[in-house]
Structure 1
Amino acid sequence: MRTLPAGAPPRWVLLPALLGTLLILLPVTAVLTRLEWVELPVLLTSAAAVDALTLSVWTALAATFTCLLLGVPLALLLANARFRGLAVVRSAVLLPLVLPPVVGGLALLYTFGRQGLLGGAFDLMGLQVAYSSLAVVLAQTFVAMPFLVVSVETAVRGLDRDVLDAAAVDGAGRTGILRHVTVPLILPGLVSGAVLAFARSLGEFGATLAFAGSVQGVTRTVPLEIYLQRETDPDAAIALSILLIGVAVVVISLAYGRPARLAER
């Protein structure tokens, strides 16, 4: 007779668990059934869709690279620093996780916009950040970086300190330990964080709209194109939505499948 693990939940949790699953799957299924699938290639190859897809992919990649460049060092410091006010700093770094994206977009606008805090400095350099493709990258980075920071910081905090101490005793410097010991050990968390940051960047809407606007080929990403087309061309909006659902499935598989396999090695 098969026995359940000691920590298995009681049977009554099955019903709410199923209801929770249905709450997520039913809306997704409804979207998938609203379109004639033979029309999908045509809808996804329209000029507006191609422009939105191209812009979304390269800006999401740029934002992910920026998150890696800035977020990994930040996560390392948060995981190892010990000072008063660390909790406040961590809360500030993770603020975009709970802040409404449109508020984040307004904050970016009041910082980098022409009338913003740094607007005068950018005007002197002949740069316009707001309502440009750069604004899209900044908005995506703003909302996506906490996902990377949380993943990497959690991975660093889970490291075996004895291994790091042993590397230091052997004469390895801090950079050497980081490169040859820390990074390989936190690789699953790093990969997971990068994939989640890319997914969050790809699906960003509110901050992008508030800070970058919606200009085809310049700032109109896939989520903005879906919002625009939902009234004028619902089939196009559904097609792009299905594409994002497919990307989300791939992202979840990469974020929670591959890192887990790496950790088992």
Structure 2
Amino acid sequence: MQVNPSFRLAYVPGVTPGKWARVWGERLPDVPLDLLAVPAGDGERTLREGGADAGLVRLPVDKDVLSAIPLYTETTVVVFPKEHWLAAAEDDVALADLADDVVFHPLDDTLGWTELPGRPAIERPATTGDAIELVAANVGVLLVPQSLARLHHRRDLTYRTVADAPQSQVALSWPQERTTDLVEEFIGIVRGRTVNSSRGRGAAPAQEPKKAEAKKAPARKPQPQKAGQKPAQKTGQKPKPAAAKRGKPRRGR
């Protein structure tokens, strides 16, 4: 019994592949889509080691090994307790506003800081989730992509946008040497291609070009003319005016 192939899609925290997964199910119902949630720092390694066919990961990735199509850039926010003085800010927060705060830098950070604002913590939390717990304990603040702030939402925490902070970019990535038809199909889905314009196996078969000339209908044979019958008049031909009858001129009485 032959088993249909599946397509394995890895995705990192904060990324929601649901909308693309629904389109996949409609377009390729015979190919199961396996969604693999991986830690933020394991997206590239999963693709390198063949653990997934493609992945929704955060840039950068090694472009010598992996292909990547940037999808969108996330807004960066600072997460803090609701009692924090930053809660009074109605507009965006600047990095300079965090100068007196302890700013956590988790080991799975996705922003790629060159210089972290604020005061450094004694040690780096192992994960973003661990850093959120420390923020809830009113030990410091944390800068993350907005999707991660929503993922780790707590009632006692809130956040504000930080306009001048680094931003995280989400991309579709896959091994360059394994650009399969199914990978092409998923590329078409995330790029919004229709079924007819997709390059993958889900594309509708192209219609055969119409023949340059349609087959001519067989010519109708002329019917024999009956005796006394006037010949048939050709279509579009104007009828000839009837000739005036000639007779002898009458003499005046």
TM-score by length of structure 2 reads 0.26
For the pair shown, the structure with the greater C-alpha radius of gyration is 2
TM-score by length of structure 1 reads 0.25
Greater helix percent: which structure? Answer: 1
